[in-house]
Structure 1
Amino acid sequence: MIWAYRIPILSPNFALQSRQMNFRIKATFLFLLLVFQAFSWNAFAQQSSTLEINQADLLRGANGFERLLGNVKMTHQNSLIYCDSAHFFRNENRAQLFGNVKIEDLQDPIVTTGRYAEYDGNTKIAKLRNNVRFTNQETTLTTDYLDYNRETNIATYFNKGKVVDSVNVLTSERGVYEVNLEKITFLDDVVLENPDYTLKTGNLEYYTIPKTSETVGLTNIVSKEGYTLDAQKGSFYDTQKKQFRFFDGIVENETSRIKAMELFYDENLAYYEGKEDVRVLNKERDVEVFGDEGKYWEEKKYSLIYGNSLVRRYFEKDTLYLAADTLISQDSEADTAKFLLAFHKIRLFKTDLAGISDSLKYNYSDSSIQLFQDPVLWNNKSQIEADTMIFYIANEQLDRVFMKDKAFAIMTDTLLNYNQMKGRKMTGYFKEGQIETLQVDGNGESLYFALEADTLTQGVNRILSANIKMVFKDGAVQKANFMVRPDGKFTPVQKLDDKTSKLEGFQWRIEEKPDKATIDAWRKVVEIDPKMKNLFDEPDVKIEMPTERQIQEKLKKSNLNYP
């Protein structure tokens, strides 16, 4: 077999082309190698925790460290470090910084300054002292003692500090600034000053975005208008929306006081909302209302209270109590629109007065109380009832009462007999808390016992007359006037029975009469402690007594001998 080979014929330029190709391959390889090295070096530089010297006017060696003097500039990861001079402990990867210290973060807008600092490149902790200033955009923290952990982005200050942003100024003894969360926790003697109010508390958490704060424990506030806002169990504030939430809180001004276990207040709307043990005091009216939940509109002076509601009308020597399911109070500027409405299961109690009804209206303008749907009123020895009833209190006592439709009055005399009057309309006048005069207009009927020397019952006078007027003393009839064709009958005591001794419709309902125990069972009020602790009562400056040693040293400096 014959093998044949084809030998390529090379052109004269082959050697030149080959050298050019080899050069291009080498150049490309070298470029890729440089790019890889540069990438690797940048990645290493970003991950390295080594402190680097960038600049110094003078470098001197010392025992265990290097002295950097004048315009010192150092680098650590994403931070630039400036100072007047430094002691650089290269082996320990830390530095002591002196004079005009400045640490600037290249990624976050955080700049920290002070007169002295210790910076540890391993732990990434900077300890700054004297005139420290920590700035993050609009928020600035100033103190004399600050530890800043760049790894966690948390700054901790102690021995007093102040934080200022676009709205608030906050000071405290200690604090923690969590930059990533935009959260600052203030501890011990916290004071928040705002254009609208000043707050004092022992523990406060403040979010720089969206400028909200939350307190734990006792919190006291004074607004620029003189309002006081206090909370025993902490609070929450949105300083931009001007919305507040208090826990076991009280809001008070010159004309009102509002309290609740949870109290919400919107300053822009002048609106309050309370839950659990709500109470609203109108200082001008001496009226305080209580309930499980409530709402109050300050400008309208309108309040809604519901859930075991209670009213206390304060007098100089006595208090009128009113229990109901729901209360509505309106105290606007117009006299005709100043009233209190109460609905369902009405119970009234005062030392010399008690009453029940389904609903009630109290007019602030004339101090009249109107009762609706089967109202009954007891006053000392008397009981009166009608479909509707209006009574007035003057000089802390029942003054007069007007009854309409099915009016019925019962008065007990000294022998506990029931003197009775009924009619379409009835008006009663009181003196020193007891009925003095009763006048019936329309369909009048009367039944009263004739007494002998207030010790013996002779019989019963029963008279029908369109209009009747009677004068009483200690429940006994002193004088009677019958205006239109009276029709009367006398029944001696020997012939008295239930039919002859009672008018039709008679009901002695004394078992329904409410008393103080009835009111307390409905809602037992826990009174506000007037000596409750308030941080504004404590002096800002604490005077500490000097020790015996301090006294002697001061005497020696004054060239005085200690006796």
Structure 2
Amino acid sequence: MIKTILHIFLFVFCIPLIAQTPNTQGKKKIEIVYGGDINLDEQRYPGATIFNKDEKQQVQFRHEGADMWCDLAVLYKADNRIEAYGNVYFQQGDSIRMNSAYVEYNGETKIAIAKDSVILRNNSMTLTTDELEFNRETQQAYYENFGTVKDSANTLTSIKGRYYMDIDKYEFKTDVKITHPDYTVNSARMDYYTVSKNAYMYGPSTIVGEDYKMYFERGFYNTVAEQGYGLKNTRIDYSERIIFGDSLYFDKATEFASATNNIKVIDTVNDGVLRGHYAEVYKARDSVLVTKKALAITLYEKDSMYIHADTLMVTGKENERVIRAFRDARFFKTDLSGKCDSIHTDEKTGLIQLISSIPPGAPENKLAAFMPILWSGKTQMTGDSIHILSNTVTEKLDSLKVWNNAFIIQKDSLSGVKFKDSVKQGYNQIKGKTLYGLFEENELRVVNIIKNAELIYYLWNDDDEFVGIDKRVCGLIQMMMENNEIDNTTSFINVEGKIYPDSEMPVNARRFRGFYWRGDEMISSVEDLFSPEDNQIELPVIRGVNHGIDLDNPNLAPQEQQLNIEQETVDDAGAATAQQGS
């Protein structure tokens, strides 16, 4: 009888006071919607009122737009605080819903701490963890002992996480992972928007898809479209190619990837490398385009060939690669180099073509300046078109062809010294319609000049005394090379000519028509491939490397994003140090 009277007294007098007593600090008190069985236990819960569910339903409480149901609640009226136990269900508005075994809610701070089998839901995702702090004032929820988030597309896990409810954004930290049937993402830290499904990653990160793998230390990934970019130490394994660059972008739908600044593309099948400062990779077409100090490196029988041009394009399947070099193309290989307007190489046929582009109106005496040019050692060869053929099996150089206006020039090393007159500097010259050359062990050994062949050659005896100038015309001249120098020449078919002493050969007769010495253009090293303009190229500044970029929330200033990133990095480092110390 006494217990019943006590219950009635509490219900009639205490509850209205609990529900209606104004807060002197201006905060609203926690309201009791349904109290169930009500008790007091000053020994265990001093200053608190205990509410138990009854046969009808769970107890229910309300505070500023949020409702909570549970099996048992302990309400501290003075502190405006409540502890909820057993099958706790917390709801804010019509979007945020939370289940757990326990919740402690503070009406002053509007912070709810949920523990044991916590599940937080809204219309777009579900979060599960063992302990969650939900700050209704800032509309943020935070966990720091592993959590799992599931939305319509992905499953995300991390050690720590913070959820911003007003913008549907998560900040995940430490061992972050996205799992999806088509890809997985791992990162040190990630910002993820549950509506757009966009992920922003900071620190070492990898994305592994069906046919690609990407690494970077800052980047973005649209998980719906499988589209994104990476900044800082970036790399993408894309089918048979590995792409490096300061910035990388890729799009699975179009099978396209691009790289900017300090790029390198490795062909893992054909032992080729492309370098430059901008590249585009078209996977479906099996092609790569490189510009801005573009350089292609191809291995030929343990010796590399380097090709440079304004633009390089590589296409074709395995063992059928084609390299096209456009505008001011140049190449360098041990003992052989050249330049022209464009270069075309075909791995399947073993053919390298040097192609000219003579501008309209170019004077006849300057045509050689625009022709393709080849150097074997210091021997200069020009013509309308130059073809170099290699053996596709041994990958060794096989033969050389110069089509139309073939012209060979070699600076005579003794004439300039002996005559002590720069005007009399001699040049050994052979010209004709067509040139055929043969290589032995990648060195040019035999050269045949066919049709309308002409020769000017400076002769010296074994004591380096001048003998005369051999000048002749014939149907064919065969030239033997030794160590990339002209060793001897032999003339065939209707040979006419003689050896002239120095006094009988006027200076203007010592050079054939069309003579054009291009020694200052000679390519003797890889560095010579690049012009001064190439070496002075200004690289674009890549946004986002030093300051974060948030496409989903542009109102967040880059400086603020960077401060957040740096502060959290410091916090993580401090926590790690503290753990090591303990």
TM range (shorter): 0.7 to 0.9
Q: Which residue of 2 aligns with 1:292?
A: 277
Distance change >3 Å, CA 241–CA 253, structure 1 → 2: closer
Residue in 2 that maps onto 1:280: 265
Q: How does 1:148-547 map to 2 (within 5 A)?
A: 148-225=134-211, 227-232=212-217, 234-248=218-232, 249-253=234-238, 255-315=240-300, 317-332=302-317, 335=320, 338-373=321-356, 374-393=371-390, 398-411=397-410, 418-453=427-462, 456-474=465-483, 475-478=485-488, 480-483=490-493, 485-492=494-501, 495=504, 498-499=507-508, 501-514=510-523, 515-519=525-529, 522=534
User: Shift of residue 300 of structure 1?
Assistant: 0.4
Distance in 1, matches of 2:221 and 2:481, equals 62
* Structure 2 residues without counterparts, runs of 5 or longer: 1-18, 357-370, 416-425, 540-575
Q: Does 1:126 align with 2:91?
A: no
Deviations along 1:87-142, one digit per CA (max 9) or x if unpaired, are: 2212222111223222123x223221222221112222110122211111341111
1:434-488 residue CA offsets vs partner (Å, 9 max, x unmatched):
43111122221123344545855533332212333333334344452413x2222
Secondary structure of 1:216's aligned partner: strand
| SS in structure 2 at match of 1:285 | coil
2:463 and 2:400 map into 1 onto residues whose CA distance is 27
* 1:116 aligned residue: 102
- The answer as to whether partners of 1:414 and 1:476 remain within 8 angstroms in 2 is no
Query: 2:147, 2:158 within 8 Å by CA — same for their partners in 1?
Result: yes
Instruction: Give the CA RMSD over aligned residues.
Output: 3.3
Q: Between 452-461 and 276-285, report the one with greater CA deviation.
A: 452-461
Q: How many Å separate the matches in 2 of 1:160 and 1:350?
A: 57
Deviation at 1:497, TM superposition (A): 5.5
CA contact (8 A) 1:244 1:264 kept: yes
Q: Which has the higher contact order (CA 8 A, sep 6+)?
A: 2
Q: Relative to 1, partners in 2 of residues 1:411 and 1:201: Cα closer, same or farther, differing over 3 Å?
A: same
Give the CA deviation at 1:201. Answer: 1.6
For 2:510 and 2:444, the matched residues in 1 are separated by 21
How far off is 1:332 after superposition?
4.7
Structure 1 509/479 Cα, relative in aligned 2: closer, same or farther at 3 Å?
closer
Of residues 90, 95, 104, the one that matches 1:103 is: 90
Residue equivalent to 2:36: 56
* Corresponding residue of 2:422: none
Counterparts of 1:437 and 1:412 in 2: how far apart (Å)?
19
Identity of aligned pairs, percent?
28
Q: SS where residue 86 of structure 2 aligns?
A: strand
For residues 48 and 476 of structure 1, do their structure 2 counterparts lie closer, same or farther at Cα, with a shift above 3 Å needed?
A: closer
Question: One-letter code of the match for 1:408?
Answer: F
- 1:175 deviates by 1.3
Cα distance in 1, alignment partners of residues 271 and 166 from structure 2: 52
SS of structure 2 residue aligned to 1:300? coil
Contact kept, 8 Å, 2:33 with 2:62, in 1: the verdict is: no
Structure of higher CA gyration radius: 1
In structure 2, give the amino acid aligned to 1:518.
D
Displacement after TM superposition at 1:363 (Å): 1.6
Alignment partner, residue 80 of structure 2: 93
In structure 2, the CA distance between the partners of 1:264 and 1:119, relative to structure 1 (3 Å rule), is: same
TM-score, structure 2 as length reference: 0.75
Q: Show structure 1 runs of 5+ residues with no match.
A: 1-40, 527-543, 551-563
Contact 1:412–1:476 at 8 Å: present in 2 too? no
Q: TM-score of the superposition, structure 1-length normalised?
A: 0.77
- The one-letter code of the counterpart of 1:309 is A
The corresponding residue for 2:552 is none
